[in-house]
Amino acid sequence: MSPAIELIAINKRFGDVHANKDVNLTVERGTIHGIVGENGAGKSTLMSILYGFYEADAGEVRVNGKPIAIRSPIDAICAGIGMVHQHFMLVEPLTVVENVMLGAEGGRFLRAGEAKVRTELARLAKEYGLEIDVDAIVGELSVGLQQRVEILKALYRGADILILDEPTAVLTPPEADALFNLLRSLKEQGKTVILITHKLREIMAITDCVSVMRRGEMVATVETANTSPPELAELMVGRRVLLQVEKAEKSPGRPLLEIEKLSVVDTRGVLRVANASLTVHAGEIVGIAGVAGNGQSELLEAIAGMRRPILGSVRLGGREIRPSEHNPHQMREIGLLHVPEDRLRMGLVPSFAAFESAILGFSHEGRLGHGPILDHDRLIADLSAKMEQYDVRPPAPRLKTSKFSGGNQQKIVLAREIERNPKVLLVGQPTRGVDIGAIEFIHRRLIALRDAGVAILLVSVELDEIMNLSDRILTMCGGQITGERKPSETNEQDLGLLMAGVTDEAA
């Protein structure tokens, strides 16, 4: 049989940036094919060409052996190609069935189209195990179920080839396991899956074949069974990469961040953090492990001054923070900086130029201008230096923030916060959507800050990251801190029980 997909000598430029350079890719039918590479390697651009978001400057696309011109997503859908994006393309106030119908209403009368969608969703649920409440409001669903809606949309439109871009970046471990079971089921039914991910463990667990891109070029395609994570990491980065964090034992100093009996509610008045107490010392990384949605996000936001606690106190360097100064601006002024979990919603403004996003929260600094007038040349020079230091690609301070890959957006946020000499650093999901080389760099930076005496409170859904970076680990479940462990005295099973609310007392 002809391959499901053949991309032949694909080229694509964006101004001076050569995103794809004579790229060749063959994806066999009925397989799960992984594509890996550093941030900015050209993976998403290549898949955007296949899905019709971009047109290649040169090259040929073949689907099931036939040359085809894909000038828009409609052309891709007609060719049996579906795509699930890292940032979902859903209308949150609408129901599941309404989201699936969008763009495929089936005529002027919606009732008939809706009946058809309901019938087809029932069939897909039975065939692939994609059960979901079709009348549920999408914005009220978990991230994992929202992703399921995106997959249902693609299958409803007849996709035989499914592209998934960083599908586990925002999923909890159980949700990721459920996704992989679904992908295996799709493969058994003869579907072809293209998986873009930075997580080499996932590549090894789920794919049949993996292609590696570096700086816009395809450098290797290998059968997954014949490779290893260290080999793939070296192909991606062009050098050996340390997959384990190296850090020396260090005695923590005085307490810099003290939280006592903190309670936080959300905008609907639901209790999200209940009576939480913790301490982070100078020269210490305290990691918080927990399934997403168990209060970690609200705890970080409350400490940073983005949410007003209903009870409890926050002390920095032994001084209690008064309610009047418990806001992000004042907290930055006294040395507490924050890398938010959601870079696009809370860390950046996508429509801003990168040099503008790089000063968010710090535009009042005198060194950046005179009075209310900012010195653009100085801002651009400042970010240019940070881009070189943090290997942001492309190194273009004037480029819109939205034009950078997710990993490079994350580097901009990290550079902005880390390079301002924090005393206390709050870090949420530091390596979400970040490539293996950048993960190594970010981990080294965090360890260097810890060794320099910074107190770091880290939230991550990646247990490997929590175990490797932390000096102490706290677990959260249902808004409560359920346990504390040293990394050397625990394992994933033990932490998993604590994350599920099975405390030492309950056991």
- 504 pLDDT above the threshold of 70: no
Least confident among 3-7, 316-320, 331-335, 407-411: 407-411
pLDDT (tens digit per residue) in 387-416: 999 888 889 999 999 988 878 899 999 999
Whole-angstrom Cα distance, residue 303 to residue 276?
A: 11
> pLDDT grade, residue 507 (50/70/90)?
very low
Buried b (16+ CB within 10 A) or exposed e, 406-439: bbbbbbbbbbbbbbeebbbbbbbbbbbbbbbbbb
pLDDT at residue 85 in the model: 84
How much is the pTM? Answer: 0.74
Whole-angstrom Cα distance, residue 359 to residue 336?
A: 16
pLDDT (tens digit per residue) in 219-232: 999 999 999 999 99
pLDDT (tens digit per residue) in 114-132: 888 899 999 988 888 888 8
Domains of the chain (ranges; CATH) run 5-237 (3.40.50.300), 252-335+422-507 (3.40.50.300), 348-421 (no CATH)
Coil, strand or helix: which one is 209? strand
- 425 pLDDT above the threshold of 90: yes
Buried b (16+ CB within 10 A) or exposed e, 448-477: ebbeebbbbbbbbbbbebbbbbbbbbbbbb
**Beta bridge mates, 402:** none
- 141 pLDDT above the threshold of 90: no
pLDDT (tens digit per residue) in 61-76: 999 999 999 999 999 9
- 459 pLDDT above the threshold of 60: yes
Whole-angstrom Cα distance, residue 298 to residue 312?
A: 14
SS (H, E, C) 337-364: EEECCCHHHHHCCCCCEHHHHCCCCCCC
Contact in structure between 378 and 369 (CB atoms under 8 Å) = yes
| Site of tokens 């995106």 | 150
Percentage with pLDDT > 90 across the chain: 63
